[in-house]
Amino acid sequence: MKIWIIYDSKFGSNKRVAAFMQELLSPNHEVQVAYAKDVNQKAVLATDPDALLFGGPRRMGNISFALRSWVKRYAKALQKEHKRMKKIAVWETRSEMKPEVANAESKMERNIYEKNLKTGELWVKLIEKVPVEQLPQELLSLNIINETSLGNGQLEPEYEAKVRAFIQRFEA
Ligand SMILES: Cc1cc2nc3c(=O)[nH]c(=O)nc-3n(C[C@H](O)[C@H](O)[C@H](O)COP(=O)(O)O)c2cc1C
């Protein structure tokens, strides 16, 4: 298959996940990886890809804006050209929010906490916009641990095993 991997990343975790996915898929597929802000939807579409993998960070309880808008635009471009993907798959990285945030004084914090619980639904809503032949598989969610207030941290130690299993299901 001809596969594009599109990611958003500020601190490098999602970039690393995207690169690892490329490494796993490259022996059997033609794979290209791009940072969402660096690649135009039409340029991707012009290569006639079979499959797309999208991923990025959770931000303020939502899917990162750059990735969300990239996917929406891509879905529109596909519809305009009456094309559909054979397969899509998605992943996100997130840092667990402490349960006490649910009772925080700040309404904004509480709202983010509530939205955080719904990220799976947010992804489904986004994916449903993309015309695709095969139903997308489940969302792969990876945790960032030792997160600092700046937002950087390390990927959970089991992340490679999770990505391997995800890619195996994607290829099946
Ligand atoms: C501004 C900002 C908002 C964030 N909001 C959330 C959030 O709502 N829920 C969550 O689980 N993680 C949140 N995070 C943590 C990020 O998801 C985490 O830092 C990110 O996955 C790292 O990805 P990257 O290294 O590719 O940038 C936030 C991080 C930043 C910087």
Q: Where are the domains of the chain?
A: 2-171
User: pTM of the entire structure?
Assistant: 0.94
Instruction: Tell how far the Cα of 29 is from the centroid of ligand 1, in angstroms.
Output: 30
d(CA 99, CA 113): 8
Q: Is the CB of 112 under 6 A from ligand 1?
A: yes
The pLDDT averaged over each successive group of 10 residues in the chain (172 residues) is: 97 97 98 97 96 94 95 97 95 84 84 82 91 88 85 91 96 92
Instruction: Tell how far the Cα of 159 is from the centroid of ligand 1, in angstroms.
Output: 16
Residue 81 is predicted with a pLDDT of 94
d(CA 49, CA 56): 20
Residue 158 is predicted with a pLDDT of 95
Q: Is the CB of 144 under 6 A from ligand 1?
A: yes
Residue 85 is predicted with a pLDDT of 96
Residue 153 is predicted with a pLDDT of 87
Residue 34 is predicted with a pLDDT of 98
Three-class DSSP category at 33: strand
Per the CB < 8 A criterion, the answer to whether 49 and 4 are in contact is yes
Q: Is the CB of 60 under 6 A from ligand 1?
A: yes
Q: Is the CB of 64 under 6 A from ligand 1?
A: no
Please report which helix (H) or strand (E) contains residue 136, including its range: none
Q: Is the CB of 136 under 6 A from ligand 1?
A: no
Q: Residue 13: which of 162, 145, 161, 170 has the closest Cα? A: 145
Residue 121 is predicted with a pLDDT of 86
Tokens of 94: 């997130």
Per the CB < 8 A criterion, the answer to whether 119 and 168 are in contact is no
Q: Is the CB of 94 under 6 A from ligand 1?
A: yes
CATH homologous superfamily for the domain 2-171? Flavodoxin domain (3.40.50.360)
Residue 112 is predicted with a pLDDT of 83
Residue 35 is predicted with a pLDDT of 98
Helices and strands of the chain, counted as H and E runs:
6, 7
d(CA 104, CA 96): 15
Residue 5 is predicted with a pLDDT of 98
Q: Residue 142: which of 128, 127, 163 has the closest Cα? A: 163
Instruction: Tell how far the Cα of 44 is from the centroid of ligand 1, in angstroms.
Output: 27
Residue 74 is predicted with a pLDDT of 98
